[in-house]
Structure 1
Amino acid sequence: MEIKRCDWVTNDELYIKYHDEEWGKPVYDDETIFEFLVLESFQAGLSWFTILKKRENFRAAFDQFNYKKIANYNPEKLESLMQDAGIVRNKLKILATVNNAQRFMEVQKEFGSFSKYIWGFVNHKTINNKVKSIKDVQATTDISDALAKDLKKRGFKFLGSTVMYAHMQATGMVNDHLTTCFCYNKH
């Protein structure tokens, strides 16, 4: 019997593994949340598959997404990132990653963890959207608008409403698996 997945999943093994094992699964640890924020900020204007294929390169280039290290990157490290063909070499996004690491730690200090802060936007539980067709999936919501606005106010960069909704989907804050997908009730 064939497994039914969300319509956006291609036949690529990397994409299938990401969909089946990660996408939509609730994430509460700050390290993984930060990784997704970095990857999604770099995805702006590109396909998620492009970023997914480069994920291990990003992980190596950005010290395993260690936000404490990233917050203190010096000009030499920034220049080495600009020369790294394994990642997306966008200077503004690289600089935003350093800035966002610094802002991330400020939020941790204020809320005890970034997870408590971000999950507060959905009252600390996944919103099940009961999506029947990929055409019904929204790009933004009132919640992603409010989250992006608050992040911007806090000084974060490249984390607009569309990027934040993608983050909410990826980290299980919303369940946008199609109701026909085998993962819909899995996470």
Structure 2
Amino acid sequence: MTETDETASAIAPAETRSRPDLLVGDDGVARCSWVGTDAEYQRYHDEEWGTPLRDDRALFEKICLEGFQAGLSWRTILLRRPAFREAFHGFEVEHVAAMTSHDVDRLLQNAAIIRHRGKIEATIANARATLALAQPLSELIWSFAPPSQGRRPPHTLSEIPAVTAESNALSRRLRALGFRFVGPTTMYALMQSAGLVDDHVAGCWRAADD
């Protein structure tokens, strides 16, 4: 299917336009309503959120950024992601693990990122914990993915949980391995963004099954 064909096939039917959990954009495409009208958020929803991610560096970045997001909106983090990448050496694990207390003090002066000492220190600690793993980070994370067979997309946003048994288990495991800012809610957000679960609501063009 060409890009044009895919876009055409995503045009929302009339009955979709009245559902509060969906938002039909100017392009006629139905998306999860949390996207709003922000172009970058829309791109993130269409291209990243819920797409299976198995790259170790990218997963490490997501773990760290989800930790920075705690108490904030994801849009805040997304808009600052280029600055985070610059500050943390592209989230290359070896480089982040080598950062020192002097780097922490320097980043606390960087207004382009979230200046939170605990979260900055957690990013460095998470890099060191990643290097100490006995298996690839992606293998560890995906071992906690819930079964997808027979799973239907949520019909409303209210059906989407904040915490699951799997995110609790992943959180406990990562904490035992020395990771920080990896609570159960944060880890469920990771599972959503990295595609371990598909929480696009029914009717959204990205939903796995309508």
TM-score grouping bracket, smaller chain normalisation: over 0.9
Alignment match of 2:183 (pick from 155, 160, 174):
160
Taking structure 2 as the reference length, the TM-score comes to 0.83
Q: CA deviation at 1:153?
A: 1.1
Aligned to 1:182: 205
- CA RMSD across the alignment: 1.5
Which ranges in structure 2 are unaligned for 5 or more consecutive residues?
1-10, 12-27
CA distance in 1, matches of 2:51, 2:132: 26
Are positions 1:134 and 2:160 aligned together? Answer: no
What's the % identity of the aligned pairs? 40
1:103 equivalent to 2:129? Answer: yes
Judge conservation of contact 1:129–1:174 (CA < 8 Å) in 2. Answer: no
After superposition, what is the alpha-carbon deviation per residue over 1:74-107, rounded to whole angstroms, capped at 9, x for unaligned? Answer: 2222211111000000001000100010111122
Matches within 5 A, 1:35-184: 35-107=61-133, 110-111=134-135, 113-122=136-145, 126=148, 128-184=151-207
Distance in 1 (CA, whole Å) between partners of 2:64 and 2:180 is 10
Report which of the two structures shows the higher radius of gyration computed on alpha carbons.
Answer: 2
Count of matched residue positions in the alignment of Structure 1 and Structure 2: 182
Q: Name the SS for the 1:5 alignment partner.
A: strand
Structure 1 residue 10 displacement after superposition: 1.1
Runs of 4+ that moved beyond 2 A: 125-129
Asked whether the 8 Å contact 1:4–1:180 carries over to 2, the reply is: yes
